[in-house]
């Protein structure tokens, strides 16, 4: 498709056709509740606020771009999972976003913590999280990482390969301990999500296949290994999932496996983890289930399956990440340029370039993820036009929000907020094009503070020692 640039103002009536799912909003200033942290509102003057603080002040004091968390919202989401899944262990998946403060918040709200590298483990320990409440994941944990996990006394290690089992058993035996282990199994589910974030189908790197018998062989290796205390099995079918059908199959197959283990060995393994993956709203299309509904459905599935297979209900756990951290933060950007681009197929798409992009949120480029955006520093009564919010990187795929209707009077210096930026944005951020990573700030009760400071060019230069 060839594009030509036209100078001048934006005309609402010449927008390119929007994708079928995107509706032109009746009120372009309205905030859809499921997209935003609960402390985010528009002030009477039309400015976006979080926990009572206007974004203009945040931009002036913290700079842009910035990840802006609503502390009370993140805590409430963590607490809602803890309450709904009472009697289960709820491990917050730190890969979605982890820093010392957030590790503390989720622990204070009653959650355990899932880490998947030595780096995440270090943050958890620095935050003072009880090691017994830490679970350690990863498909290629190094010997040093396994040793660090054992030395810290983590509550469980989720093992992903035979080589890891051998390493872990040897390390534990050297220390005179037995490592508490879950076996990660893949249940053969094609989860309805992007290929790169589905994790239970056959041809991918995670886990032991339950379908081919590799999982049962791993169980037998564990039972024979002197340094391994096999506690149970673990399944994670993928991420950003809305349908329960994938979980149904996962429950049926994992409980079936526990029953098979019991009949082969005479031992009922005490633990079953069903992973994370609960979807959140990024656009008006997404309609996530509340934690209580997830808890009721999963508990009923497990109970029914255990009864059918004649085993007791094991100790259950889950690992939600995105559903806790995702909606709790928005990304705050400043608009640098506004470029209406005339499409040869007809209409104009307005490109709003912001002061960040794929280095602070790779999800749009990596998974074709959809996001929403709003004009944040003011309300506007200009007619909405179809916009694409893009970054400042040297890539045409450097897109933050592929399609959104935004007011047609946006100018450089305006602020744009993108909700759903709490998960897998800062945690997957890079320094592409030597762009320093933005800070993570948190607002609570009319005050804000920095959780993770902004990187500086000096930080980047300091690494360059050649
Ligand atoms: C093993 C495991 N547990 C939990 C999660 C958390 O997933 P989500 O953030 O979608 O809840 C992931 C990431 O997909 C994962 O790989
Ligand atoms: N990083 C992914 C989720 C996969 C996480 C780990 N299994 C995302 O942004 O959606």
- Band of pLDDT at residue 197, cut at 50, 70 and 90: low
What residue's CA is closest to ligand 2, atom 8? Answer: 424
**Residue 38: DSSP 8-state:** T
What pTM, to 2 d.p., does this model score? 0.95
| Tokens (6 digits) for 298 | 């999963």
The answer to whether the CB of 184 is under 6 A from ligand 2 is no
Pair 423, 326: CB distance under 8 Å: yes
Give me ligand 1 centre to Cα 55, in Å: 31
Residue 414, pLDDT score? 98
- Residue 75 CB less than 6 A away from ligand 2: no
pLDDT tier for residue 374 given thresholds of 50, 70 and 90: very high
Q: With 90 as the cut, is the pLDDT of residue 288 above it?
A: yes
Q: Is 96 in the pocket of ligand 1 (CB under 6 A)?
A: yes
Residue corresponding to tokens 């916009």: 387
424 is in an annotated binding site: yes
- Is the pLDDT score of 2 beyond 90? no
CA distance 40 to 35: 10
Q: Using a CB cutoff of 8 Å and minimum separation of 24, what contacts does 135-144 make? A: 135/91, 135/182, 135/273, 135/317, 135/319, 137/184, 139/205, 139/206, 139/207, 140/164, 141/117, 142/118, 143/167, 143/171, 144/118
Shortest-distance Cα residue to atom 12 of ligand 1: 276
Cβ 461 vs Cβ 68: under 8 Å: no
Q: Is the pLDDT of residue 160 over 90?
A: yes
Q: Quick check: 295 and 82 in contact, CB under 8 A?
A: no
User: Binding site annotation covers 20?
Assistant: no
Q: Is 424 in the pocket of ligand 2 (CB under 6 A)?
A: yes
Residue 60 has pLDDT above 70, yes or no: yes
Report which bound ligand comes closest to the CA of 429. 2
Half-sphere exposure (CA, 13 Å, Cβ side) for 242?
A: 10
For the CA of 240, the closest atom of ligand 2 is 10
* 394 in active site: yes
Tell me: pLDDT of 5 over 50: no
In the chain, the percentage of residues whose pLDDT exceeds 90 is 90
ipTM over 0.95: yes
3-class DSSP assignment, residue 348:
strand
Q: What is the pLDDT of residues 220-249, one digit of tens each?
A: 999 999 999 999 999 999 999 998 889 999
Beta-strand ranges (E) seen in 344-446 are 348-354, 374-375, 384-390, 399-407, 415-419, 440-444
pLDDT tens digit sequence for 385-409: 999 999 999 999 999 999 999 999 9
Query: Which atom in ligand 2 lies closest to the alpha carbon of residue 197?
Result: 4
Q: Is 49 annotated as a binding residue?
A: no
In the structure, what pLDDT confidence band is assigned to residue 332 with cuts at 50, 70 and 90? very high
Name the pLDDT band for 106 (thresholds 50, 70, 90): very high
Integer angstrom CA distances of residue 355 from 218, 352, 411 = 49, 10, 14
Domains of the chain plus CATH, in order, are 3-63+328-462 (2.40.37.10), 72-325 (3.20.20.10)
Average model confidence (pLDDT) across the chain: 94
Beta-bridged to residue 372, according to DSSP, are: none
């Amino acid at each position: 498709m060839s594009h030509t640039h036209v100078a001048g103002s934006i005309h609402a009536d010449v927008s390119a056709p929007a994708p079928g799912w995107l509706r032109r909003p009746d009120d372009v200033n309205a905030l859809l509740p499921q997209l935003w942290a609960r402390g985010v509102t528009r002030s009477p003057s039309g400015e976006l606020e979080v926990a009572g603080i206007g974004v203009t002040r945040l931009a002036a004091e913290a700079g842009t771009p910035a990840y802006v968390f609503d502390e009370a919202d993140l805590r409430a989401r963590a607490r809602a999972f803890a309450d709904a899944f009472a009697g289960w262990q709820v491990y917050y998946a730190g890969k979605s976003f982890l820093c010392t403060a957030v590790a503390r918040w989720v622990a204070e709200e009653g959650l355990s913590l899932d880490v998947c590298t030595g780096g995440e483990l270090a943050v958890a320990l620095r935050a003072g999280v009880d090691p017994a409440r830490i679970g350690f994941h990863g498909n290629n944990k190094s010997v040093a990482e396994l040793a660090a996990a054992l030395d810290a006394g983590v509550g469980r290690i989720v093992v992903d390969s035979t080589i890891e089992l051998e390493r872990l058993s040897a390390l534990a035996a050297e220390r005179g301990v037995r490592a508490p282990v879950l076996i990660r199994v893949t249940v053969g589910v094609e989860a309805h999500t992007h290929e790169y974030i589905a994790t239970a189908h056959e041809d991918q790197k995670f886990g032991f296949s339950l379908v081919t018998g590799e999982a049962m062989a791993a169980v037998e290796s564990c039972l024979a290994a002197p340094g391994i205390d096999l506690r149970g099995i673990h399944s994670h079918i993928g991420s950003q999932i809305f349908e329960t059908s994938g979980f149904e199959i996962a429950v049926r197959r994992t409980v079936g496996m526990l029953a098979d283990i019991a009949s082969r060995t005479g031992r009922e393994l005490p633990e079953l983890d069903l992973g994370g993956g609960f979807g959140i709203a990024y656009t008006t299309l997404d309609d996530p289930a509340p934690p209580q509904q997830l808890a009721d459905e999963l508990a009923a599935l497990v109970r029914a399956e255990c009864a059918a297979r004649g085993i007791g209900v094991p100790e259950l756990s889950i690992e939600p990440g995105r559903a806790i951290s995702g909606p709790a933060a928005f990304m705050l950007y400043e608009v640098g340029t506004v470029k209406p681009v005339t499409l040869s197929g007809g209409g104009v798409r307005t490109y709003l370039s912001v002061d960040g992009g794929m280095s602070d949120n790779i999800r749009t480029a990596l998974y074709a993820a959809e996001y929403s955006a709003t004009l944040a520093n003011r309300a506007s009564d200009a007619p909405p036009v179809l916009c694409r919010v893009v970054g400042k990187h040297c890539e045409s795929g450097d897109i933050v929000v592929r399609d959104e209707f935004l007011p047609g009077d946006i100018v450089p210096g305006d602020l744009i907020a993108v909700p759903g930026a709490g998960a897998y944005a800062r945690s997957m951020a890079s320094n592409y094009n030597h762009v320093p990573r933005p800070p993570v700030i948190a607002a609570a009760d009319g005050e804000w503070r920095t959780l993770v400071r902004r990187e500086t060019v000096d930080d980047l230069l300091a690494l360059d020692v050649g």
